[in-house]
Amino acid sequence: MGALDAAFIQEAEQRPDLKMVEGEGIPMIDLSDSPARTREELAAEIGDACKKWGFFQVVNHGVPLGLRKRVEELVKEFFDQPPEEKEKVKRDEVHPMGYHDSEHTKNVRDWKEVFDFFLQDPTLIPALSHPEDKSLRKLTNQWPQSPPQFRETCEEYAREVENLAFKLLELISLSLGLPADKFNGYFKEQTSFLRFNHYPPCPQPELALGVGRHKDGGALTVLSQDSVGGLQIQRRSDGEWISIRPTPDAYVINLGNAMQVWTNDLYWSAEHRVVVNTEKERFSVPFFFFPGHQVSVKPLDEITNEENPPKYKEFNWGVFFAMRNRSDYKKQEVENIQIDHFKVSE
């Protein structure tokens, strides 16, 4: 990536405030088993964070640190390769997973390059080749030959992060007063994927963003970030942008659109963005925990009632996923699909 091309320039009101001060931090939650605290008490702590912020960090999460470090090294090695090497696994209309450097969020180009892979290979999603099309597409991963051990290490890491995601899902379910496994069935044919983000130094960070403001789509995201910093979230209480300070070995957890809909807005999917800088490259590794294509997403019957009627209409996860992903490819004239499109009018 060279000097700042016009495609990267954000509208004036979206540009980041690079001198932003650190606000009150998001909660830090210790997941270790402790005799001083019941599972329900831990769940309640998580529930409070989900309501107030939709974001928190976790420590003592069970993901082996050595494995995480090996992945970080391999990711750097992968992106350090010449473009020709990375482009051997470039994503296209047939293979939406793999390497790409031209993602758009809200139609402005992000200052980053990425590598994606599905947790389940193949993963099924609606084909949507025409409006009545009910057929499914089988999507497969693409793996580079180099660096060596890339695929094996990434797959091993993905399984560990998936375990953490299920642990959190169960705690969230308990926090809602529901059985721990209430949500588990939705992930039988999950469309989850892991992403490696590389944000190179940017000549004009005041004009661009590493990732433009957005909400993640699924149930929750488990994010590993390095020590550079740049992730900012919008505070639910007043809409202020807050920087998330990197904490060594912790994971940043945030809720996605599906969880906000299931809980009928009780829990929050916060908007967030990534600010870049002129000096340091940054790496991050989000795991997007997404339901199966067949899952129908709507406010849970256990949560809604006459006083709290459903705020969203039911929608099919696979169609939502396929439509959002399709619009990543090129600058589109229409706005990307959002959960707000399913809001029940008041």
Distance CA 345, CA 329 (A): 31
Distance CA 167, CA 236 (A): 25
Per-residue b/e over 40-64, b at no fewer than 16 CB within 10 Å?
eebbebbbebbebbbbbbbeebebe
Given the complex with ligand AKG, which of 178 and 241 has the nearer CB atom?
241
**Does the N-terminal peptide bond of residue 248 adopt cis geometry, omega within 30 degrees of 0?**
no
Kindly state the helix (H) or strand (E) to which residue 316 belongs, with its residue range.
strand 315-316
Among 45, 110, 170, 216, binds Fe ion (CB under 5 A): 216
Given the complex with ligand AKG, which of 225 and 263 has the nearer CB atom?
225
Q: Are 51 and 263 in contact (CB under 8 A)?
A: no
For 179, residues 6+ apart whose C-beta sits below 8 A from its C-beta are 173
Please, which of residues 103-142 interact with Fe ion by CB under 5 A? none
- 197 contributes a contact to ligand AKG by CB under 6 A: yes
- 190 contributes a contact to ligand AKG by CB under 6 A: no
Point out which span in 60-68, 79-87, 223-231, 261-269 binds ligand AKG (CB under 6 A): 223-231
- 272 contributes a contact to ligand AKG by CB under 6 A: yes
- Min dist CB 48 to Fe ion, Å, is 22
Among 165, 211, 219, 253, binds ligand AKG (CB under 6 A): 211
- Min dist CB 139 to ligand AKG, Å, is 19
- 271 contributes a contact to Fe ion by CB under 5 A: no
Q: Which residues bind ligand AKG (CB under 6 A)?
A: 195, 197, 211, 216, 223, 225, 231, 272, 274, 284, 286
